[in-house]
Structure 1
Amino acid sequence: MPTTMSGDSTVFLAIYIITFLIGFPNTVLAFCLCIRKIHSKPIPIDIFMLNLAASDLVFLTFLPFKMKEATDNMVWNMPEALCRLSLFMFFLPLYSSSLFLAAISAERYVCAAFPVRYKSPKRIIYTTVICVIAWVIIAVTSVFSYKAAYSDSNEVDNTTSNHSLEVAHQDCYIKLSEKQLRELLPLRLGLAIVFFLLPLLICCFCYISLICILMKCPLFKRQRKLRVVGLIVGTLLVFAISFAPYNASHVVGFIKKENPDWRMKALMLSTLNTCFDPIIFFCISKDMRRAIKVCAKALCSCMPN
């Protein structure tokens, strides 16, 4: 085990710790509140929020393994099978979060633009079907990406066995052959379009339309308008800081026919999405706001004067 950490490892570890400390308690709280709300009086937004929280929890559950890797100076000292599983679970939320953020933006727009239709009891069924379809798309895409990355590893190094993953210098990353790159680079470009560009366009259209509706209608209270602004800011932060650099690496890699050197740093920034999602939970859920206020008061009361 390395006695000192490199600069990159220190930055990675710091980002992982901040993400976990901010994201995990808030996501668990949002997940529990959504479950309770769905059991009592479900509405479509609660179902979308529950799926977004579940997606974040999957990522945060496996984040400690990445912390351990960063602590060991990016050397993987754990079983190889755990490396594969952690990588799979690390990438999975990158696809699911963008879809559910787009679904939340569409739901908020429909709620404001068509309030009568929004109250239809069938919307719960439609919402559930949409979530199931989204998870099926995410699972199928992840499996195909996983197979493409881990296949034909015998071309990577003729001296290795038929293992589908080569751990070079005990690093938990995939060393791709030219054939694998030829298959993966177009797939990555497609992922950038389907899981980043399209959801971003949907979010922009829905939130711009929502702002126009709020500006034309004086009946909406100032607090609600501020929550909408917070919702939009939180969503844009996720796309701009967490998803944009990583998906830009897909586009650059497709053009240059290689893995960009800064791809891992872009991937590190993608972990921050679980820090920004609590902003979305806070702006949407009244129970979330109430619970955070109670926790804040309890914390303040415990602090010495």
Structure 2
Amino acid sequence: MTINSTNCSDERSATDFLYAIMYVIIFIPGLIANVLALWVFHAYIKETKRAVIFMINLAIADLAQVMSLPLRIFYYLNQDWPFGSFLCMFCFYLKYVNMYASIFFLVCISIRRCLFLIQPFKYNDCKRRYDVYASIIGWVIVGAACLPFPLMRIDTRNNSSHFNSCFTALPVIEIDIPTSIAMVTLAELTGFVLPLIITMICSWKTIMSLREKNPVLQDSGEKKKALKMVLTCTTVFLVCFAPYHITFPFHFMALSGRIEDCATKNIILKFHPVALCLASLNCCLDPIIYYFTTDEFRRRLSRQEINENGIILHLTECSI
């Protein structure tokens, strides 16, 4: 059984226009920034520190989301989906995979930066393959954990070839209250609250570590760069993902009919699209981490990595 009807006023056209405008704004800079990031990291994969593995995966997750935006823009401008149910569900699924993969890799970057500052000699010798293994495990967990999102929105009554509704217009499959509470609570705790706590702890420990005498990071510029990386990860995390996860339980209850008051439901349904657009904005904000915290990235863009003899200047510092 699915739920898709409401007695409250429907302002779908205004919401669709907001989605279309935001995705147009995100698409070009997100595409350029993430393609450029992958190009830079591929060129410097052997010279950079191991945490660049997490940045590469973060850029891949963002690029996958960006590549689906033209289809979303088409749908929200035309309010029609002529591309079939499979592609609709795949793009819908990809949105959440990007979100939670981004959260996972932002946490990994923060942890790696924090561990290096606390015990630089120990974690500087870690093998790169450990980060590769962690990335593979992260993709598997995120991919499996995000499956309920499209499965909960499949309209079992629509078996026709013309699947003209997609994304926010998809109906929600009705489930019992205990199961709903368990699913939402698990999603909030593991997908947002726990990563937020870890990121905040890493930020605090990084700030504390930079106040102490560090035999590896004596240069004030290196200390500022380390602090900037962790704080940038935390800022992107809070700006992009906090609003969505605050509204997510209420939005789920509104769509599933648990909230019946029209005034309350309309407030939730108006704010949730804004939160969802902020979540998509991470595709443009994540490259800020690469540019402002990675020497290779700035050097490659400015072409200062090539000396007079055409030799690439190698990274000499121990941190990203």
Please state which band the TM-score falls in when normalised by the shorter chain.
Answer: 0.7 to 0.9
Q: Which amino acid aligns with 1:237?
A: T
Where does the alignment leave 5 or more consecutive residues of structure 1 unmatched?
A: 155-159, 296-305
Other-structure match for 1:84: 89
Q: Is the 8 A contact 1:95 1:138 kept in 2?
A: yes
Using the alignment, how far apart are the partners of 1:181 and 1:77 within structure 2? Answer: 34
Give 1:100-249 correspondences, 5 Å limit: 100-120=105-125, 122-150=126-154, 153-154=155-156, 160-161=157-158, 170-172=165-167, 173-179=169-175, 183=179, 186-217=182-213, 220-249=218-247
Greater mean deviation of Cα atoms: 135-144 or 248-257: 248-257
Using the alignment, how far apart are the partners of 2:53 and 2:231 within structure 1? Answer: 21
Q: SS at the partner of 2:68?
A: helix
Other-structure match for 2:308: none
Q: Count residues in correspondence.
A: 279
Q: Which amino acid aligns with 1:271?
A: S
Q: Which amino acid aligns with 2:226?
A: V
Q: SS at the partner of 1:195?
A: helix
Q: SS at the partner of 2:171?
A: coil
Q: Offset of 1:114 from its aligned partner?
A: 1.0
Cα separation, partners in 2 of 1:51 and 1:184, compared to 1, 3 Å: farther
Other-structure match for 1:32: 39
Using the alignment, how far apart are the partners of 2:275 and 2:162 within structure 1? Answer: 22
Q: Aligned to 1:95, which of 97, 100, 115?
A: 100
Using the alignment, how far apart are the partners of 1:253 and 1:20 within structure 2? Answer: 26
Q: SS at the partner of 1:217?
A: coil
Q: Is the 8 A contact 2:240 2:279 kept in 1?
A: yes
Q: Is the 8 A contact 1:149 1:184 kept in 2?
A: no
Q: Offset of 1:126 from its aligned partner?
A: 2.0
Q: Aligned to 1:11, which of 6, 18, 25?
A: 18
Higher relative contact order (CA 8 A, sep 6+): 2
Q: For residues 112-132 of structure 1, give each alpha carbon's deviation from its aligned partner in whole angstroms, at most 9, with x where no partner exists.
A: 111111232x43232122111
Using the alignment, how far apart are the partners of 1:110 and 1:245 within structure 2? Answer: 28
Cα separation, partners in 2 of 1:70 and 1:217, compared to 1, 3 Å: farther
Where has structure 1 moved over 6 Å in runs of 4 or more? none
Q: Is the 8 A contact 1:189 1:254 kept in 2?
A: no
* TM, length-normalised to structure 2: 0.76
Other-structure match for 1:301: none
Q: Offset of 1:109 from its aligned partner?
A: 0.8
Cα separation, partners in 2 of 1:255 and 1:112, compared to 1, 3 Å: same
Other-structure match for 1:70: 76
Q: Aligned to 2:288, which of 279, 288, 292?
A: 279
Cα separation, partners in 2 of 1:67 and 1:130, compared to 1, 3 Å: same
Q: Aligned to 1:50, which of 35, 38, 56?
A: 56
* TM, length-normalised to structure 1: 0.80
Bigger fraction of residues in helix = 1
Identity of aligned residues (%): 24
Q: Which amino acid aligns with 1:287?
A: E
Cα separation, partners in 2 of 1:57 and 1:254, compared to 1, 3 Å: closer
Q: Is the 8 A contact 2:206 2:227 kept in 1?
A: no
Cα separation, partners in 2 of 1:186 and 1:149, compared to 1, 3 Å: farther
Q: Is the 8 A contact 1:98 1:199 kept in 2?
A: yes
Where does the alignment leave 5 or more consecutive residues of structure 2 unmatched?
A: 1-11, 260-264, 305-320
